[in-house]
Amino acid sequence: MGTIMKIGIVGMGHVGAHVANSLVLQGIGDELYMTEQCSGDEDHSAKLAAEVQDLGDSLAFCPHNVALVNCDDDYARLAECDVIVNAAGKVSLASKDRDGELFYTTETAKTFIKPIADAGFDGVWITISNPCDVVATEIWKLSGMDPNRIIGTGTALDSSRLKYALSRATGYDQHSICAYMLGEHGSSMFAAWSAVNFGGKPLAQLRQEQPERFGFDEAQVEQEARHGGYVTYAGKQCTEFAVADAAVRLVRAVVSNEHYITPCSTLMTGDYGESGFFTSLPCVIGANGVEEVLHFDLSDAELHEFQASCAHVKENLRRIGLL
């Protein structure tokens, strides 16, 4: 009998529910353990029961059966999972910027990080909640886990938005474009233009050879990537599909031990002179989480942007007493 893959989710709101649905539709995992966040006077138990029922009703249309487990707010039950996705948050607080959830998500996370750690969890955390880099740092500090086993979705989503913008600008398929947003998953993120390539050919070279196709306004394209989420939010008061899929892509890389390269939030250990907190750089993702961090020869301007982005993350950590 093969190994049973167990995946947990904390928070079954817009994003958590889409994470669950994407996992089931893609056939990732054998058992799905779902919990709801408990904060203030809010009772999410009915919402969780509804999501579990809806997912169960969809199983006949999915690749294979998945055992669906309603854990209510018994976080310790998630300790037996191989991967836990943290999607606990309150999106309305982030209507203007991702820092809007700072105090809410970090206080909420305190209710489940320690119970899960104390119950012996030794799998991989994948955290979505905003501010993503701050919450990832909090999980590391409160759980005492190996930081390589903690992954923030970070700029994986923003890099997808950058590829989408570049695809619209050039007409090339986004799967053939290598382009990364780096730094904080927030307003201070930046595009690493010096590393952008199309099918392996550097953007700078293509711009010289085909100026009519590649002479687009970099600042405008970068702005589209940075603010794509707010376009989505303005129309439906949440973002859900893309960020859930970004998290599920990381789950798949872990459970399949893929050695997949993507930008995501990881612990800085002297990278470009920064240490002691999480932010996004290109990482190799496998069964044990972050296996390796890749470094580019950033231009002086990009290095300045990275350091400014890190400064913002550190300021938020100081605001909640974690730095």
- Quick: pLDDT tens for 165-180: 999 999 999 999 999 9
The answer to whether residues 111 and 79 touch, using CB atoms and an 8 Å cutoff, is no
49 shares its domain with 103 = yes
Whether residue 46 is predicted with pLDDT greater than 70 in this model: the reply is: yes
211 shares its domain with 304 = yes
Higher pLDDT, 38 or 31: 31
23 shares its domain with 34 = yes
| DSSP notation for 148-203 | GGEEE-TTHHHHHHHHHHHHHHH---GGGEE--EEB-SSTT-EE-GGG-EETTEEH
159 shares its domain with 148 = no
Predicted local confidence at residue 239, as pLDDT: 86
Residue reference for tokens 């919450």: 135
Whether residue 40 is predicted with pLDDT greater than 90 in this model: the reply is: no
How is residue 185 written in tokens? 């998953």
Binding residues for NAD(+): 11-16, 128-130
Alpha-carbon gap, residue 213 to 297, rounded angstroms:
26
Domain containing 262: what range?
Answer: 155-320
- Quick: pLDDT tens for 100-134: 999 999 999 999 999 999 999 999 999 999 999 99
Domain edge (last residue) among 152, 171, 200: 152
Q: How far is CA 105 from the centre of its chain?
A: 15
Predicted local confidence at residue 232, as pLDDT: 87
Whether residue 163 is predicted with pLDDT greater than 80 in this model: the reply is: yes
- Quick: pLDDT tens for 80-100: 999 999 999 998 898 777 899
Alpha-carbon gap, residue 182 to 191, rounded angstroms:
6
Active centre residues (catalytic):
185
Binding residues: 11-16, 128-130
When the pLDDT of each residue in the chain is averaged and rounded to a whole number, the result is 95
138 shares its domain with 17 = yes
CATH number at residue 260: 3.90.110.10
In one letter, which amino acid is 34?
A: M
Percent of all residues in the chain with a pLDDT value above 90, rounded to a whole number: 88
145 shares its domain with 222 = no
- Among residues 76, 72, 84, the alpha carbon closest in space to that of 47 is found at 72
CATH number at residue 144: 3.40.50.720
The answer to the question of residue 1 being in a domain is no
Whether residue 2 is predicted with pLDDT greater than 70 in this model: the reply is: no
Predicted local confidence at residue 43, as pLDDT: 64
Percent of all residues in the chain with a pLDDT value above 70, rounded to a whole number: 97
Alpha-carbon gap, residue 313 to 323, rounded angstroms:
10
Whether residue 183 is predicted with pLDDT greater than 60 in this model: the reply is: yes
Number of domains in the chain: 2
138 shares its domain with 53 = yes
Predicted local confidence at residue 44, as pLDDT: 77
145 shares its domain with 161 = no
Predicted local confidence at residue 97, as pLDDT: 79
Domain edge (last residue) among 152, 170, 190: 152
Whether residue 15 is predicted with pLDDT greater than 70 in this model: the reply is: yes
Q: How many CA atoms lie within 13 A of 154 on its CB side?
A: 32
Higher pLDDT, 133 or 41: 133
The answer to whether residues 281 and 182 touch, using CB atoms and an 8 Å cutoff, is yes
Mean per-residue pLDDT, 290-306: 97
198 shares its domain with 142 = no
304 shares its domain with 162 = yes
pLDDT band at 45 (very low <50, low <70, confident <90, very high): confident
- The backbone torsions φ and ψ at residue 206, rounded to the nearest 5 degrees and listed phi first, read -65, -35
- Quick: pLDDT tens for 184-209: 999 999 999 999 999 999 999 999 99
Domain edge (last residue) among 111, 134, 152: 152
Alpha-carbon gap, residue 174 to 11, rounded angstroms:
31
Handedness of CA 14, 258, 145, 268 (dihedral sign): negative
The answer to whether residues 288 and 148 touch, using CB atoms and an 8 Å cutoff, is yes
